[in-house]
Structure formats: C-alpha cells, structure tokens
Amino acid sequence: MTPRRPRPRASLQPLSHAATAPAVAPPPRWRFPQPTSAARLGNGLDVLWYRLPGQHVLAATLVLDLPLSREPRDLEGLATITARVLDEGTVDHPGEQFAERLEAVGAAMGIHVSLSGQQVMLDVPVTRVAEALPLLAEAVRRPRLEAADVERHVALRLAEIEQLEANSAQTANRWLRRQLWTPDSRASRMNGGEPDTVARITPVEVAAFHAGQLGPTGATLVLAGDLAEDPLDLVADAFAGWQANPAGPELARPEPAPPSVLLVDRPGAVQADVRLAGPGTDRHDPRWPALLVGTTAVGGSFLSRLNRVLREERGWTYGVHLNLTPHRDGGSWAVSGSFRTEVVGAALAEARSLLDLGAEPLTAAETEAAVHQLTGTLPLRAATAEGVVDQVASHLLAGLPADHADQLLADVRQVGPEAATAAYTEVVDPAAPTVVVVGDAGALEPALEQAGFPVTERR
Amino acid sequence: MPAAPAVPPPLPISEHTLANGLRLVVSPDHAVPSVTVNLWYDVGSRHEQPGRSGFAHLFEHVMFQGSTHVARSQHIALVQGCGGTANATTWFDRTNYFETVPVGALELALWLEADRLGGLLDALTQASLDNQREVVKEEKRQRYDNVPYGDVLQRVVELTFPADHPYGHTTIGSMDDLDAASLDDVREFFRAHYLPSNAVLSVVGDVGVERATELVEREFGPLTDRVRPDVPDPAPLPPLTGSPRDEVRAAVPSDAVHLSWRLPALDQDEFDALDVALGVLGDGQSARLHRRLVRTELAEAAGASSLGLIGGNSIGIVSGRARDGVPVERVESTLLAEVARLGAEGPTEEEVDRVVAQFERSWLQSLSRIDSRADQLSRAATLLDDPARVNERITEVRAVTPEQVRDAAARWLSPTSCGTLVHVQEA
C-alpha cells in the first residue's frame, strides 16, 4: 500500500460522473422582494415600486378593488366588457389612435378579471415607461367607451363562449363551477358572464359601470423593473387627478351545492375530460400551508400519487392534477385530467381510492419532497418583474400582505407528514365529490355506474 | 425622427467546446439564486424516417424513463424534490431538455442530463416504451384530436410541403406510426442523434463560467462521441404553385380560414422582413387584419404569424375566423386582398416602427427569465451556429426597412402562392 498523500481540495468531489446523484446544497436564504418605495396618493391610490436589476421590461398592474359582487345579477359580464373596451380609444387618443400610440412605444396592455377584483396590466421596455404610463392612466380614467366598440365586444364575448362550448376541457371547467356552488353564488358562473347576461349589456351600462366602479379607492398600482429613477412622480402625474369612488360590498363566500355526477355528452369524442372536486378553503385558513403540501404530494408533483399511477404506471392520461382554487373567501379543490373513453370508469375509481389517505397517510419522504418543491419554486416565480407584480397582485386580491410569500415559505417549511395528512383529510373529502365528465355519454354512462359514480344529471 | 431607445447591455456569453464535441454556453446572472440547464439536441420531427412520424417526440418521453443510474420516472421527481422544474419539448428542428433549479442543485441537473446522454439504453424496457406510447397517444387526443381546429398545423404542413418532405408532417405524428415504434427504433434513434457533438448545453444563472465549465467537463467530458449518420438537408423550395386547397367539415364553432406560404429559412435576412410583414398584417389591435376584419365585424379574430424553420424553408400563416352570418369566402378574400396590398404598396414607416417596438418588448421579456434566456442561447447556437447572435437580435430587426418588407412580401406572400385551409361548421 502506498502512503497516502494529502488530497487536493478539488478531489473531495468526484472527478467524473458518479454512480449516485450528487448531493444538493440547501437553497440560500431568500426573501420576497421588498418595495423600493411606496406611497399613497391623495385620492387613496396605493403605489408599490420594486426596483429589480436586470429586468429590462417594466411590469405594472393596477389592482382594482372591484369584486364581481359590484355587477348587477342580470348584467354579469359587465366588468369584463368594460375592461375590454378601455383600450379601444380614449379622450386624448380616440379610436385606433390609442392602440397605435401604445404599440408604437412597445407597450402592451392586458386585463384580468377575477372574482375578488380586477387587474389592468402594462408591460413596456424600461426605456419607454415615461411614454407608456400616461397611456395606462388614460385608458383607465378617460376611455371613450364608444357604442360600436361596446357592441362589438359583447358580440365577441358571445363568440368566445361558443368557442369555449366547443372545447371539452373548458366545458368541463364551466360545468364544474355550476355543480360545485349554489346558483346564488357568483362563483357558480363564469367571471366573464354567461350568454344571457352578456347579451343584455349595452353601452349605457358600460359607461355607468365605469363611472361608478373604476376608481382609486382601495386600488394599488404595483410596478417592477430595472428603472434608475423612482417612477412615483410619473405615477403621481398620471393618476393624482383620478377622482375617488365610493367603496362597495365585498363578494360573499360561495355556498357549496350538494354532491352530483354530471355527464355532458360530446358524441364521438375520443377522450373524456374528467373533474372530481369539492369545496375547499382559502389562503387565510391556518391549515393552508399544510393543505398545500398535502395536495402537492397527492396530485401536484410529477410523481404524486395520482400522476404516478394514472400516467406513469397505467398510461391512461397525459397528466392528472389535484389543484386548489382559493378565492378571497372560500375555495375548492379539483382533480382534473383527460382520459381515453374506455378507461374513464377505472380511472375515476382509482383516483378516488388514491385521494383517500385513510389507509396510507402521507410519508415523511413524500412530505419533504412536496415542501422542497413548494419552497424551491417560489423564488423562481418571483424572479422577473412580471412574476413579482403578479404575486403581489394575487396577494392583494386575496386580502393578504404584499410580501405574504415570506410567511407562506416559513410556514410551509414547518409542515410534517402528520400536519399535511390532517389538513388534507379535513378538506379533501373524496367520499362524496362533485363529478363532471364531458365525453361520449353513450359509452361513458354504464362505465360510470359500474365504477361507483352513478350519473345524477345529463346535459 | 427621435433616436431609437437604448438597447440593454449585451448578455455575458462564454463558449467552450468539449473534446467530445459538446458545445457549452455559459451566461452568468447572479440576480436570483437559481440556475437553468438547457440542452438542445439537433434532432426534431424533420429527422424522422418514413413511417415513423411522431418518433422524435415519443423518444423525448422515453428520455424521462430512467438511465444507467436513474430509476424509471425519477428524473422530474428528483428535480422537483429539490425545488426545481424540469421538462422537454420537441419541434420540427430540435428537441430541448431543461431544468431550472435552486443553485445548490446545479450538479444534480447536470448529472441527470449526462446520465441519460451516456446511458439511456441501459434502462430502456419494452414496458417503459409501451407506457409512454400510451401517454403520448393521450397527449395527441388531448391536444389535437379532441380540440376544435386541433388539426390546423397538420393540414397546413400537408398543404405547404410534399408528403415526403422533412416538414411534411407534424411532431405529434400519427397513431399508426406511434403504434409501430419498436425498441430497436429507440436504440437506433438514440445512437444516431443523441451524441455530445449533436448537442448544445446552455447554463444560465447564479454560477460563474469557471465553475460551470468544471462541472460540465466532469459530467459530460467522459462521454464518447460517435459519427452521426447523414441527415436530410433539404434544398430551399420555391413558393408554392397550384393553389392547393383543403376544405374540412368539422364540429367547429365558427368557419375559419388559414392561408399558408412557404417562406425562406429563418437564417435568411428576407425571413426577418417577412416576419415584420406578418406583424404589420396581424400583430396587435392596430394591425391591418384587425382593422379590416375584426373592427368591421367580418371576423371574430384575424392574425398572421411566421413559423421559423432552418431546413430550407419556413412557413407563414394568415388566418381569420368568420363572425356568425359572414360567409367564410368573404373572410378569405379580404385576407388575400390585404396580403396583396402589402406586397404592392408596402407598409408605412409607422407600421414598421410599431411592429419592431412590439418585437423588442417580447424579445426582452423572453430574455428576462433565465429559463427562456438559456433556450434562446441554445437556439442561436444550434440553428445559427452562434449563441452571441442573441445580443444582435434587436439591431437586426431594427434594420428592416419598409421597402424590404414590401419586396419580400411581393416575392413570397403572393396570393397565387398560398395553400388554403377552410374549416366549415358541420350542418
């Protein structure tokens, strides 16, 4: 045996590809970005600015306190139509001049209408923020809302619903809301309105809704990007004159409907879209971090219990997921997947049995993997300007602090297998779920019956 | 005219070729404690043998079924279990594989990629192939067969190229060909295309060039290269002739028309001019097609886009969906009239400026994330042979003039050289 020589430091690591996976160093301490500056304008508009080095496209989102409870019941879709007409011309840039101007400065506007509020978004290269930000303010404060534009957007929304009805997955999602919640719950109908109410929307109502509901009260403008100058002065110039509006009612918590099995017929479909769901909870619930870990292990990761068996072992689906949909108040859980017609009964039965943790609680290894997955991907999701403003907006719309990610991260790290199993079992009840199946009903109905899901409604 | 806004500073780009031919591109960015590993293999559906359509993509799925030291289905689980994401996609020209991970898992990501490039066949079984064949067939049903207009791309390429042309079929392939794929096909495909010298590896994020190079040398350096068999290198085809037409009756919510053209390959200057031409027609609310078809209530939607390809030709597509009660012929003739007018008169300076400004934003957005930045670097290295072209892109597109757009549109986007696909609602 030759005497041991001192080993160079580098050889503490293998010199070539090893037979076992390299160890993973723990992630460095990470915090959600803090605002570089924050202000409240005289009219009540809050402004949060995040300077993010290297982010050459500024992302801005105006988060409006405009839950869908502000729409009249017989005119649902009004918030969406109003938002869609904002960029069809302003007092300062009528008609197509607005889109021309916006596009010429390299900017894009978008809207997002959710149950708890609305976002009007702007993306623009940081070199052109001074030109683009006033356009965002113009569109929100002084849109023309021309009759022809409103009427066209009503017709396009109705056409969009026809497109959705021709799409199996979207049809399943639409029916799922209807089956999950009572008709009194706004969550039971599409955020953008159903055909009967959309068809009633006229330019007069759009003008009134804009004047009464779109304002700075309770609103926050969130901006992020690599801009040397603090943009608060620009924001104040563009938005300070915006008249405050009266505050309105919050959206009531949705009421769960009784369990059901709905079969929607698409004759000749080569696949069926399946949803298996139930009422859940929201991000204010103290069980939320543990629930998130539990659902990730059961149906959120690639080798979750559901995807491992139904995709990687059986080959029955391209992918199956268990997702949580938190509202500001209340929420739901749902398993979603598409399966070829002949395996739908077996897939549903197997999914229900996998969802039931009674015999097999979550293991320490499953829980740890889920915790790592959730905590590791958070920094990635907040790595861009767009990612930061999206997350802040999502937190604000849920009534949570802008930097809620930090608390969530800390809480998720503490979750062990017992807590994850307990929270999951309390919320996800696979015994009496709401089921929606969209596919070839003739072939599916007997299979569902046989699998223990007798159809209660047909469409 | 005001001076063009400043372009962001160039990305740091370092290149290194391993002895076995693997090309490495490193671009450090320490803003976030994460790193992306992105591998482009120069193999896509255009390299598939007759009767084996869909194979490159099926193969991509098999790449997640384990390798010498990685158990079946564990690749993504290992990455997710340390807080990362992993996936892959297949396209006409290439297959890409990528992991984005917290920086402490960089070695794991490289190890996983090296293990399957070195030893995929060690773990290959009939059971794993059969399982992924079924998964891919479900993917085809979910994304193409059970979706209205899900057949558009397949029908467009069939109109635009001869059946035996490398671009004459799509990446998802046919059910019959997927059924026919055998273990021997997998082995042969792996040996022919999955070579160190047929790959570009980009590492972008919170790591220095020296450290990244050291780790890549350690993981990939021992792999031996092989000689790649000849692959198809199709000569550029001239514009289409004969006005091929495909009319489909289907369960679609609206009548729709798609017009397709052969364009030059994406590395030709004329391709950029045509990309701008299609932007003038279809990009945004101020675009010509939106004004002429959507605002006038002829169409629910109207658009234009290029599908850039490297093998001789690219594809240009102009499309519209008719509003209820509007004959689809009227949508078709209006689309064609707008295309013809662009070739005859050219765009205005303002129109070109808008398209270029919109391009700049979307380009900068694609560079704002380390995962898509790595993908752009791998793409430029694979298709254009130079990752640093990423730093030239804005300047290249800004250089396009209205006259170039007009001339390229006149030459390539003639109404007499398109294929026409019409979807009509079943009665």
Q: List pLDDT tens digits, range B9-60.
A: 999 999 999 999 999 999 999 998 999 999 999 999 999 999 999 999 999 9
User: Concatenated DSSP letters for A183-218?
Assistant: TTSGGGS-TT--HHHHTT--HHHHHHHHHHH-SSTT
8 A C-beta contact, residue B230 and residue A25? no
Q: Return the C-alpha torsion angle B116, B117, B123, B124, nearest 10.
A: 120
In a 3-state reduction of DSSP, which class is residue B254? coil
CB contact under 8 A, A377 and B29: no
Using pLDDT thresholds of 50, 70 and 90, give the confidence band for residue B292.
Answer: very high
CATH class of the structural domain B245-425? alpha beta
Rounded (5°) CA angle B363-B365-B366:
65
CB contact under 8 A, B137 and A313: no
Token representation of residue A426: 């309390």
pLDDT given at position A380: 86
List chain A residues with CB under 8 Å of B361.
Answer: 57, 106-108, 123-125
User: What is the gyration radius of the CA atoms in chain B, in angstroms?
Assistant: 23
Left (φ > 0), alpha (ψ -120 to 50) or beta: where does A269 sit?
beta
Question: What is the distance in angstroms between the CA of the first residue and the CA of the last residue of chain A?
Answer: 81
CB contact under 8 A, B361 and A107: yes
Q: Which of A17, A318, A339 sits opposite B114 (nearest CB)?
A: A17
Could you tell me how many CB contacts below 8 A there are between chain A and chain B?
A: 225
Q: Give Dmax over CA atoms of chain A in angstroms.
A: 94
Closest CA in chain B for residue A383: B32
User: Is residue A7 predicted with pLDDT exceeding 70?
Assistant: no
Taking a contact as any Cβ pair under 8 Å apart, which residues of chain A between 237 and 256 contact chain B? none
Amino acid at B30: H
pLDDT given at position A8: 41
CB contact under 8 A, A103 and B284: yes
CB contact under 8 A, A379 and B70: no
The Cα–Cα gap between B70 and B183 comes to 19
Token representation of residue B117: 């490039």
CB contact under 8 A, B365 and A57: yes
The Cα–Cα gap between B424 and A333 comes to 38
Left (φ > 0), alpha (ψ -120 to 50) or beta: where does B89 sit?
beta
Distance (Å) from the C-alpha of residue A208 to the closest C-alpha of chain B?
Answer: 24
User: Is residue A12 predicted with pLDDT exceeding 70?
Assistant: no
Q: Whose CA is closest to B328, among B262, B388, B249?
A: B249
Q: Whose CA is closest to B275, among B215, B358, B202, B377?
A: B358
Using pLDDT thresholds of 50, 70 and 90, give the confidence band for residue A399.
Answer: very high
Token representation of residue B122: 């060690």
Mean predicted confidence (pLDDT) in A252-263? 97
Based on the number of CB atoms within 10 Å of its own CB, is A372 exposed (0-12), middle (13-18) or buried (19 or more)?
A: buried
Closest CA in chain B for residue A269: B146
CB contact under 8 A, B350 and A128: no
pLDDT given at position B5: 82
B53 Cβ contact partners less than 8 Å away, ≥ 6 residues apart = B45, B169, B170, B173, B174, B177
The Cα–Cα gap between B400 and B409 comes to 13
Based on the number of CB atoms within 10 Å of its own CB, is A249 exposed (0-12), middle (13-18) or buried (19 or more)?
A: exposed
Taking a contact as any Cβ pair under 8 Å apart, which residues of chain A between 47 and 76 contact chain B? 52-57
Delimiting residues of CATH 3.30.830.10 domain(s) in chain B: 14-220, 245-425
CB contact under 8 A, B32 and A100: no
User: Is residue B1 predicted with pLDDT exceeding 50?
Assistant: no
Question: What is the distance in angstroms between the CA of the first residue and the CA of the last residue of chain B?
Answer: 55
The Cα–Cα gap between B58 and A441 comes to 31
pLDDT given at position A13: 64
Closest CA in chain A for residue B299: A156
Is the fold of A37-239 the same as that of A261-458? Answer: yes
DSSP H helical segments within A356-397, as ranges? Answer: 364-381, 385-397
8 A C-beta contact, residue A276 and residue A335? yes
Distance (Å) from the C-alpha of residue A421 to the closest C-alpha of chain B?
Answer: 18
The pLDDT tens digits for B381-406 are 999 999 999 999 999 999 999 999 99
The Cα–Cα gap between B97 and B55 comes to 16
Token representation of residue A81: 């139509």
CB contact under 8 A, B33 and A270: no
Q: Which of A193-202, A244-253, A276-285, A437-446 has the lowest mean pLDDT?
A: A244-253
Token representation of residue B67: 């390798």
Closest CA in chain A for residue B101: A376
Token representation of residue B147: 């979706």
Measured in degrees and rounded to the nearest 5, phi and psi for residue A310 equal -75, -30
Q: Which of B5, B73, B148 sits opposite A167 (nearest CB)?
A: B148
User: Is residue A39 predicted with pLDDT exceeding 50?
Assistant: yes
Token representation of residue B299: 């169409």
Chain-centre distance of CA A459, in angstroms?
28
From the DSSP assignment, how many helices (H) and strands (E) are in chain B?
15, 11
Residue A287: DSSP 8-state: T
Token representation of residue A272: 């069926």
Closest CA in chain B for residue A376: B83
Q: Whose CA is closest to A250, among A48, A70, A438, A21?
A: A70
Q: Whose CA is closest to A104, among B352, B172, B265, B363?
A: B352
* The residue to which tokens 């990687």 are assigned: A312
Residue B397: DSSP 8-state: H
In a 3-state reduction of DSSP, which class is residue A64? strand
CB contact under 8 A, A338 and B353: no
8 A C-beta contact, residue B279 and residue A103? no
* A320-326 vs B23-28, strand pairing mode: unpaired
8 A C-beta contact, residue A423 and residue A356? no
List chain B residues with CB under 8 Å of A27.
Answer: 33, 83, 102-104
Q: Mean of the per-residue pLDDT values for chain A?
A: 95
pLDDT given at position A1: 40
CB contact under 8 A, A316 and B138: yes
The Cα–Cα gap between A430 and A203 comes to 46
The Cα–Cα gap between B53 and B92 comes to 11
Using pLDDT thresholds of 50, 70 and 90, give the confidence band for residue A27.
Answer: confident
List chain A residues with CB under 8 Å of B101.
Answer: 376
CB contact under 8 A, B357 and A317: no
Mean predicted confidence (pLDDT) in A437-444? 97
Q: Which of A159, A167, A385 sits opposite B368 (nearest CB)?
A: A385
The Cα–Cα gap between A354 and B34 comes to 34
E runs forming strands in A368-433: none
List chain A residues with CB under 8 Å of B136.
Answer: 318
pLDDT given at position A4: 46
The Cα–Cα gap between B103 and B176 comes to 43
Q: Which of B219, B353, B361 sits opposite A108 (nearest CB)?
A: B361
Q: Whose CA is closest to A203, among A382, A53, A81?
A: A81
8 A C-beta contact, residue A323 and residue A334? yes
Token representation of residue A345: 């009964």
**Cβ neighbours around B360 below 10 Å, total:** 24
Q: Which of B6, B218, B370 sits opposite A15 (nearest CB)?
A: B218
The Cα–Cα gap between A30 and A347 comes to 40
pLDDT given at position A172: 98
Taking a contact as any Cβ pair under 8 Å apart, which residues of chain A between 112 and 141 contact chain B? 123-125, 127-128
Structural fold of domain B14-220? Cytochrome Bc1 Complex; Chain A, domain 1 (3.30.830)
8 A C-beta contact, residue B176 and residue A355? no
Task: Say yes or no: domain A261-458 is CATH 3.30.70.2740.
Answer: no
Mean predicted confidence (pLDDT) in A432-453? 97
Mean predicted confidence (pLDDT) in A131-155? 98
8 A C-beta contact, residue B100 and residue B85? yes
In a 3-state reduction of DSSP, which class is residue B100? strand
Using pLDDT thresholds of 50, 70 and 90, give the confidence band for residue B134.
Answer: very high
Closest CA in chain A for residue B65: A312
Q: Which of B35, B142, B352, B367 should one mutate to test binding to chain A, selecting the residue with the greatest count of A CBs within 10 A?
A: B142
Using pLDDT thresholds of 50, 70 and 90, give the confidence band for residue B371.
Answer: very high
User: Concatenated DSSP letters for B320-356?
Assistant: EEEPTTS-HHHHHHHHHHHHHHHHHH---HHHHHHHH
Residue A181: DSSP 8-state: B
Residue B256: DSSP 8-state: E
The pLDDT tens digits for A173-189 are 999 999 999 999 999 99
**May I ask the CATH architecture of the domain A37-239?**
2-Layer Sandwich (3.30)
Token representation of residue B1: 């005219």
CB contact under 8 A, B138 and A128: no
Q: Which of A30, A103, A368 sits opposite B354 (nearest CB)?
A: A103
Taking a contact as any Cβ pair under 8 Å apart, which residues of chain A between 83 and 112 contact chain B? 87-88, 96, 99-100, 103-108
Q: Mean of the per-residue pLDDT values for chain B?
A: 96
* B23-28 vs B199-205, strand pairing mode: parallel
Q: Which of B32, B134, B141 sits opposite A338 (nearest CB)?
A: B141
CB contact under 8 A, B285 and A99: yes
8 A C-beta contact, residue B38 and residue B374? yes
- Please report, for chain A, the start and end positions of each structural domain, with discontinuous segments joined by +: 37-239, 261-458
Token representation of residue B332: 């078709």
Distance (Å) from the C-alpha of residue B353 to the closest C-alpha of chain A?
Answer: 6
Percent of chain B predicted with pLDDT > 70: 99
Q: Which of A9, A56, A310 should one mutate to test binding to chain B, selecting the residue with the greatest count of B CBs within 10 A?
A: A56
Token representation of residue B222: 């021992």
Residue A342: DSSP 8-state: G
B214 Cβ contact partners less than 8 Å away, ≥ 6 residues apart = none
Residue B258: DSSP 8-state: E
Q: Which of A24, A51, A264 should one mutate to test binding to chain B, selecting the residue with the greatest count of B CBs within 10 A?
A: A24
On whether the pTM is more than 0.90, the answer is: yes
Q: Which of A29, A101, A103, A389 should one mutate to test binding to chain B, selecting the residue with the greatest count of B CBs within 10 A?
A: A103
The Cα–Cα gap between A22 and A15 comes to 12
